Amino acid sequence: MSKTAHPGSDDARRRALWLRLWAELGAAPIVEAYLTAPGETVHGVCIDGDAVVINPVPATVDTILHELLHRVYPDRSERSIRRTTTQLRKFLTDDEVQLFYAEYCRRRKKGRSRRADV
């Protein structure tokens, strides 16, 4: 986001909001924790307008499932892989998702940034 925006434009408002969120990132107490709610996928919550709790599990597990499906079904379209990921994710229990995430954390290796050919 390095564009210059004209005052009063939508881009200027977005830029101001972006800068405000950067300030909030430095000011807010942020905790990473696994969050559950019956029948819901919870990515995060803001508690009493103060502390922010982020659940990295849903997005991470969705991405892992998606990329592993590409390995299992290399000839399938992106749309087919997305659909299968969504169906599988809805099928899994919270415990299964948490176990899968824990296994991912155990196996992951940190790598250098690289360009993705998409």
pLDDT tens digits, 45-93: 999 999 999 999 999 999 999 999 999 999 999 999 999 999 999 899 9
Q: In the predicted model, is pLDDT for residue 96 greater than 90?
A: yes
Q: In the predicted model, is pLDDT for residue 4 greater than 80?
A: no
Higher pLDDT, 113 or 75: 75
| CB neighbours of residue 85 within 10 Å | 20
Edge-first strand order for the sheet with 51-54 is 30-32, 51-54, 44-47
Please give the pLDDT value at position 92: 92
Question: Domain ranges in the chain?
Answer: 30-107
Rounded to the nearest 10 degrees, what angle do helices 57-72 and 78-91 cross at? Answer: 130
Please give the pLDDT value at position 5: 61
What pTM, to 2 d.p., does this model score?
Answer: 0.77
